[in-house]
Structure 1
Amino acid sequence: MHLFWFFVTSTWLILSSLVINSSSESATVHYGSPTFSASENKKFNILAALFTSGGSHFIFFEPLLEALARRGHNLTVLSYNPRENNNIDANVLPNYKNVFLTDPKIIAKNVLNLEELWANYYNSYFPSSVVDIILLRNFGLTYCEMTFNNTAVRELIKSDQKFDLIFMETFCSDCALGFVHKFHAPVIALSSHEILPWINDRLGNPDNPSHIPGFHKFYSGKMTFMQRVMNTLHLWWVKVFYEIRFQWPNQKLVEEFFGPGVPPLSEIVKKTSALLVNTHYSIHGSRPYVPNVIEVGGIHIGKPKPLPDDIQKFLDDAPEGVLLFSWGSMIKTSTLSQEKLDALLNVFCEMPRKVILKWESEEMPRKLKNVMLKKWLPQFDLMSE
Structure 2
Amino acid sequence: MKFVEFFIIVKLLLILCCKSNSKNILGLFPLKLKSHNLMFDSIMKELARRGHNVTVVSGFPKSIPIPNFTDIDVGDCDRTPVSLFEMEEAYKEHDPFFQIHILTELVKYYEDILRCPTLSKLFHSKDSYDLIITEIFNSDVMLGFVKQFGAPYISFCANPLFPWAADRMGNPDNPAYITYQHSSVILDFKGSTFYQRLFNTVIYIFAKMKYYLANLESERMKRKFFNFTSPSLDEISRNTSLILSFSHFSTNERQPLVPNVIQVAGLQIVKTSPLPKVIRK
Q: TM-score range by the shorter chain?
A: 0.7 to 0.9
- Offset of 1:69 from its aligned partner? 0.7
- Offset of 1:98 from its aligned partner? 0.4
1:55·1:108 contact (CA, 8 Å) conserved in 2? Answer: no
2:96·2:203 contact (CA, 8 Å) conserved in 1? Answer: no
2:73 and 2:172 map into 1 onto residues whose CA distance is: 36
- Offset of 1:107 from its aligned partner? 11
Give the aligned partner of residue 43 of structure 2: 64
Q: Does 1:94 align with 2:63?
A: no
Give the aligned partner of residue 144 of structure 2: 178
Q: Which amino acid aligns with 1:139?
A: L
* 1:189-268 mapped onto 2 (5 Å cutoff): 189-216=155-182, 217=184, 218-221=186-189, 222-244=191-213, 246-268=214-236
- TM-score normalised to structure 2 length: 0.82
1:66·1:96 contact (CA, 8 Å) conserved in 2? Answer: yes
**Cα RMSD, aligned residues only:** 3.0
2:171 and 2:115 map into 1 onto residues whose CA distance is: 34
Match of 1:299 among 240, 260, 267: 267
Cα distance change of structure 1 residues 381 and 267 upon mapping to structure 2, 3 Å threshold? farther
1:73 and 1:269 map into 2 onto residues whose CA distance is: 25
- TM-score normalised to structure 1 length: 0.61
1:205 and 1:118 map into 2 onto residues whose CA distance is: 29
Q: Does 1:154 align with 2:127?
A: no
Unaligned runs of 5+ in 1: 1-38, 85-89, 307-379
Runs of 4 or more above 3 Å deviation: 106-115, 380-385
Q: Number of matched residues?
A: 258
Give the aligned partner of residue 61 of structure 2: 82
1:50-81 deviations in Å (ceiling 9; x for gaps): 02211111111122111111121111100011
1:2-33 deviations in Å (ceiling 9; x for gaps): xxxxxxxxxxxxxxxxxxxxxxxxxxxxxxxx
2:227 and 2:123 map into 1 onto residues whose CA distance is: 10
- Offset of 1:170 from its aligned partner? 1.0
1:193 and 1:231 map into 2 onto residues whose CA distance is: 18
Cα distance change of structure 1 residues 40 and 195 upon mapping to structure 2, 3 Å threshold? farther
1:189 and 1:382 map into 2 onto residues whose CA distance is: 37
- Offset of 1:304 from its aligned partner? 4.2
- Offset of 1:381 from its aligned partner? 6.6
Partner SS state of residue 82, structure 1: coil
1:304·1:384 contact (CA, 8 Å) conserved in 2? Answer: no
1:54·1:108 contact (CA, 8 Å) conserved in 2? Answer: no
1:301 and 1:272 map into 2 onto residues whose CA distance is: 26
- Offset of 1:152 from its aligned partner? 2.3
Give the aligned partner of residue 5 of structure 2: none
Unaligned runs of 5+ in 2: 1-17
* 1:133-172 mapped onto 2 (5 Å cutoff): 133-142=100-109, 144-172=110-138
Higher helix share: 2
1:53 and 1:384 map into 2 onto residues whose CA distance is: 31
2:202 and 2:278 map into 1 onto residues whose CA distance is: 40
Q: Which moved more, 1:48-57 or 1:129-138?
A: 129-138
- Offset of 1:140 from its aligned partner? 2.8
1:65 and 1:279 map into 2 onto residues whose CA distance is: 18
